[in-house]
Amino acid sequence: MSGEEEENAAELKIGDEFLKAKCLMNCEVALILDHKYEQLQQMSEDPMNQISQVFEKSLQYVKRFSRYKNPDAVRQVREILSRHQLAEFELCVLGNLCPETVEEAIAMVPSIKTKGRTHDDEAIEKMLNDLSLIKKFE
């Protein structure tokens, strides 16, 4: 990242180190933190010591903002989105916000429509349909 001035997630300019980093959807974070919470309680004599405020607030947040709760559904969401040549960052924004229309999806992740990329409206529509199916059958 050359300068902070240039950061713009809407154009997928978030710095190389973050583009390559693994991003996680809220529902994935909820599963991990829930499991971690149990682990910490078992492991330590004084568990509250290692459960920081950052941890607690994040756990509350991801529990409220997870569109998918069931671990199998969470895995499927990632699998479906992974088929669409998305950057990690884009994949997670879509999985978190679950847009209902193609228009909404593009507003949430404008970078999917930038030059040189192959997402036509039909492909995006198909992806959104697949996602809403998982939600229905969860």
- Residues binding another protein (CB under 8 A): 7-11, 13-14, 18, 21-26, 28-29, 32-33, 36, 40, 44, 49-55, 57-58, 61-62, 64-65, 89, 92-93, 96-97, 99, 103-104, 107-109
What's the CA gap between 43 and 118, in Å, rounded? 48
For residue 131, the minimal CB distance to another protein (Å) is 14
Q: Which is nearer to another protein, 106 or 123 (CB)?
A: 106
Please identify which residue in the block is written with the tokens 């960052």. Answer: 89
Q: Which is nearer to another protein, 80 or 109 (CB)?
A: 109
For residue 89, the minimal CB distance to another protein (Å) is 6
Q: Which is nearer to another protein, 14 or 134 (CB)?
A: 14
Q: Which two tokens stand for residue 67?
A: 């569109």
For residue 125, the minimal CB distance to another protein (Å) is 16
Beta-carbon neighbour count of residue 72 at 10 Å?
A: 10
- DSSP letter, residue 54: H
For the chain, how big is the Rg over CA atoms in Å?
Answer: 17
